[in-house]
Amino acid sequence: MSLAIVIIGAGLGGLAAALSIRQESPHHDVLIVESAPVLAEIGAGLQLTPNATRLLVRWGLEPSLGDMASSPQEFLVRRYDGQKLLGERQNFAAEMLEKYGSYYWDMHRADLQLAMYERAKGLGVRFQFGTLVTDVDPTIPELTTDKGEKITGDLIIAADGLWSKTRSAVLGRPSPPIATGDLAYRIVLKSEDIKDQELLEFTKKPRVCLWAGPNCHAIYYPLRNNTIANVVLLVPDNLPDDVAKQAGDVSVMKGIFEEWDPLLQKFLGQVKKVEMWKLMHLDELEMWYNEDGTVVFLGDACHPMLPYMAQGAGSALEDGAALGIILSKVQSQEELPKALKTYQDLRAPRSTALQKWSMKQLLKTSSMVTTW
Ligand SMILES: Cc1cc2nc3c(=O)[nH]c(=O)nc-3n(C[C@H](O)[C@H](O)[C@H](O)COP(=O)(O)OP(=O)(O)OC[C@H]3O[C@@H](n4cnc5c(N)ncnc54)[C@H](O)[C@@H]3O)c2cc1C
Ligand SMILES: *[C@@H]1O[C@H](CO)[C@@H](O)[C@H](O)[C@H]1NC(C)=O
Ligand SMILES: *[C@@H]1O[C@H](CO)[C@@H](O)[C@H](O)[C@H]1NC(C)=O
């Protein structure tokens, strides 16, 4: 029997679920409803560990993504002032490939999302962009859109991210994420715009560099075949409570890193505009699906993750992959609650562990400097 599946959200998790469902069982029908009018260049860099890239390869994305990724040859950890090398791994990506059997890729989130979107279309996934889901009724199940349209199916997959409205609808109470006290500045620089000789030299070789400091951290990695420099600065949060993201003040940002590695300061000297993201947390959902088996959650909608272990996107991809494989065994709607339980049993222990692990890396409690 084929299922009619409606996915809310064309983020990495929603796309992963769609790809996996259609690849494992082409007879299921998949529609993705996404509020954004188009998949624009949102976000910045992502680091993808082998467990995530393995899935991308499985979905046939290696040819389109391989050229757009960067594989770091070395991984450096420097003391904040650049005066001491605290850790170093050479042949980093090659070692990961050898050890885990897949790539370590640094990529632009937009490149990944667009490649997944193209592949999903190729597999017959249908998309409805520019459509905000305003209500979800799990009893039917049915969703209502901002255009007043009602969409029904056998199963709704809530892949609507950190601010998931489906989560509140299913829980029957508000469920906003909470501030962690940390904030990220995200910087993207094109190599062609970098004129400084020392920076050019540093960025020539694909590498990850982490600066571990008092109260703050900074991390550099390359994107798009080493033609883009991505820098993330992690600092204490000073945004107002109700602001999750806003344009940052470049001079304030530079001020925070005044005493840091001159090389990092050179990077910051190139920045003309920057965005600040409040890092949010939410305890993992106790139930990843409802009892009727009509709604299931994945990715940030059920277990948002701090970026410190580079596992948020990877976990969303894994959730989608698992769901696709499990749903390919489902013969009738009656089997859904049991199938969704299997999905939760498989996935929850892994993401609970990662959530806890990345919370431990919060700036105020972090022991990163000593452990490295
Ligand atoms: C600073 C920072 C750095 C990070 N670095 C990394 C990293 O290096 N590696 C890593 O693995 N992860 C990283 N992450 C985490 C990663 O970005 C997320 O975990 C991942 O994007 C979650 O995917 P998702 O599909 O669950 O949610 P999202 O990507 O948030 O997608 C949700 C989608 O649903 C849509 N949507 C929401 N509500 C509705 C609605 N009502 N109707 C219709 N559509 C809707 C949204 O428009 C969006 O497209 C980082 C996060 C941050 C903040
Ligand atoms: C993915 O792999 C990394 C590195 O091998 C590991 O630390 C991490 O726990 C794995 N992620 C998940 C979701 O299991
Ligand atoms: C990636 O960069 C290298 C070195 O600059 C270049 O030789 C190669 O052609 C590039 N690959 C792609 C696909 O652009």
213-268 pLDDT per residue, tens: 988 999 999 999 999 999 999 999 989 988 889 999 999 999 999 999 999 999 99
Ligand 1 contact, 206 CB (< 6 A): no
- Complete edge-to-edge strand list for the sheet that includes strand 133-137: 133-137, 142-145, 150-152
Residue 371: per-residue pLDDT: 30
**3-state SS, residue 122:** helix
Residue 362: per-residue pLDDT: 77
Residue ranges of the chain assigned to CATH 3.50.50.60: 4-47+108-176+282-366
CATH H superfamily, domain 4-47+108-176+282-366: FAD/NAD(P)-binding domain (3.50.50.60)
Q: Counting atoms of ligand 3 from 1, which one is nearest the CA of 67? A: 13
Residue 314: per-residue pLDDT: 94
Instruction: Name every residue whose Cβ is closer than 8 Å to that of residue 191 and which is 6 or more positions away in sequence.
Output: 200, 203, 226, 227, 228, 229
Return the higher-pLDDT residue of 61 and 305: 61
Kindly report which listed range (25-34, 178-187, 209-218, 358-367) carries the lowest average pLDDT score: 358-367
Model confidence at 365, in pLDDT bands (50, 70, 90)?
Answer: low
Token pair listed for 137: 């009724």
Does 307 sit behind a cis peptide bond, omega within 30 degrees of 0 on the bond before it?
Answer: no
Which residue's structure tokens are 């999302």? 113
Residue type, 334: E
Mean pLDDT score, 332-342: 96
Ligand 2 contact, 49 CB (< 6 A): yes
Mean pLDDT over each residue of the chain, to the nearest integer: 93
Q: What is the pTM of this model?
A: 0.94
Fold of 178-281: D-Amino Acid Oxidase; Chain A, domain 2 (3.30.9)
Q: How far is CA 157 from CA 61, 118, 252, 346, in A?
A: 23, 20, 41, 17
* Per-residue pLDDT tens digits for 7-35: 999 999 999 999 999 999 999 999 999 99
Q: Counting atoms of ligand 2 from 1, which one is nearest the CA of 100? A: 5
Distance 53 CA to ligand 2 centre (A): 11
User: Closest ligand to 71 CA?
Assistant: 3
Whether 315 and 358 have beta carbons less than 8 Å apart is answered as no
Model confidence at 366, in pLDDT bands (50, 70, 90)?
Answer: low
Model confidence at 305, in pLDDT bands (50, 70, 90)?
Answer: confident
Residue 307: per-residue pLDDT: 82
Mean pLDDT score, 119-128: 98
Residue ranges of the chain assigned to CATH 3.30.9.30: 178-281
Angle at CA of residue 99, ends 95 and 105, nearest 5°: 60
Residue 259: per-residue pLDDT: 95
Instruction: Name every residue whose Cβ is closer than 8 Å to that of residue 365 and which is 6 or more positions away in sequence.
Output: none
Q: How far is CA 325 from CA 110, 113, 120, 238, in A?
A: 26, 21, 16, 43
Percent of the chain topping pLDDT 90: 86
Distance 137 CA to ligand 1 centre (A): 23
Distance 147 CA to ligand 1 centre (A): 24
Distance 41 CA to ligand 3 centre (A): 22
Residue 290: per-residue pLDDT: 96
Ligand 2 contact, 102 CB (< 6 A): no
Distance 79 CA to ligand 1 centre (A): 30
Whether 78 and 261 have beta carbons less than 8 Å apart is answered as yes
Mean pLDDT score, 267-272: 95
Percent of the chain topping pLDDT 70: 97
- Which H helix or E strand runs over 183? strand 178-190
Ligand 2 contact, 54 CB (< 6 A): no
Alpha helix segments (H runs only) across 123-225? 165-171, 197-204
Distance 353 CA to ligand 2 centre (A): 10
Neighbours of 282 (CB within 10 A): 20
User: Closest ligand to 224 CA?
Assistant: 3
User: Closest ligand to 318 CA?
Assistant: 2
Mean pLDDT score, 258-285: 94
> Is the pLDDT reported for residue 308 higher than 50?
yes
Instruction: Name every residue whose Cβ is closer than 8 Å to that of residue 353 and which is 6 or more positions away in sequence.
Output: none
> Is the pLDDT reported for residue 369 higher than 50?
no
Distance 318 CA to ligand 1 centre (A): 14
Model confidence at 49, in pLDDT bands (50, 70, 90)?
Answer: very high
- Element counts in the chain: helices (H) and strands (E): 12, 18
* Per-residue pLDDT tens digits for 128-163: 999 999 999 999 999 999 999 999 999 999 999 999
**3-state SS, residue 227:** coil
Alpha helix segments (H runs only) across 11-88? 12-24, 50-58, 62-66
Ligand 1 contact, 6 CB (< 6 A): no
